[in-house]
Copies of this chain bind each other. A is one copy, B any other.
Amino acid sequence: QAYAEFARNRDRLVAARAEVATCAISGAVGTFANIDPRVEAHVAAKMGLTVEPISTQVIPRDRHAMFFGVLAVIASSVERLAVEIRHLQRTEVLEAEEYFAPGQKGSSAMPHKRNPVLTENLTGLARMVRAYAQPAFENVALWHERDISHSSVERMIGPDATITLDFMLARLTGVVDKLLIYPDRMGRNLDRMGGLVHSQRVLLALTQAGVSREDAYRLVQRNAMKVWELDGALSLLDLLQADPEVSAKLDDDALAELFDLGYHYKHVDTIFDRVFGGNL
């Protein structure tokens, strides 16, 4: 999903960059009184910019607002991935982990700790890049089609937003490149839930075996809740097989088959193809 999301973000950034890459050399009130429009066209071409169709003393700031708005969206996408990694790294989950060099200190006071410091950092920085969009939006409504109140803002958010986001993208790339991934642990976490993840499929199978949806829901739920109460001592499959109302409709083999994870993989290729096309 992140790949598709960042592909969208790349398109947005390219569009926003094109929006702000305009050139205005039209004089102090935009009338070309003392300078010919051909000068503007010539300079724009030389610098790889588009001619601003109509300017005042300044290029209209809706373009810049859009640009910083796009940076805010991209930063939020970085945060989404960072938050995901922070969750996967928490002690009780530990399905993935930021790279940790042997001998590296995770915490000055606690020798056992390995905090997701990079993704926590990215989470905070995303708040900053988001915040910079607000003054960029406020910059649009200049007085008399010009005033210089936008100038102090852009001198700050121009470097701050772009440098911060650049740093974020570089750091995120590093985190993903070196991410430690623990597939065994993923499997065990799924198991620890006693097969609860398959509850929906059981629900559907019961309805196809003639049970009303309401009854099917009640049957699955009462067994699922027992898994919670027993903290995984018995699995959902065990409990369902032992429940006479359930086994009257689905025998042991039929139930066991419903707990096959492979069932979820059958369309993986379709999804990969949709997202990556030929780029894998």
A231 to B186 Cα, complex, angstroms:
13
- A271, closest chain B residue (CB): B54
- Within the complex, the shortest CB–CB distance from A111 to chain B, in Å, comes to 4
- How many angstroms from the CA of A152 to the CA of B111 in the assembled complex? 23
What B residues does A87 contact at CB under 8 A?
A: 90, 143-144
Decide yes or no whether A96 CB sits under 8 A from chain B.
no
Task: Tell me whether A73 and B137 are in contact (CB under 8 A).
Answer: yes
- B residues in contact with A84, CB < 8 Å: 143-145
A193 interface residue per 8 A CB criterion? yes
For chain A, give the interface size range: 35 or more
Please list the residues of chain A having a beta carbon within 8 angstroms of any beta carbon in chain B: 1, 4-5, 8-9, 12, 15, 19, 28-34, 36-37, 51, 53-56, 60, 62-63, 65-66, 69-70, 72-73, 76-77, 79-80, 82-84, 86-87, 90-93, 103, 105, 107, 109-115, 117, 120-121, 123-128, 130-135, 137-145, 147-153, 156-157, 160, 164, 185, 189, 192-193, 196-197, 199-204, 217-218, 220-221, 224-225, 227-228, 231, 236, 263-268, 270-271, 274-275
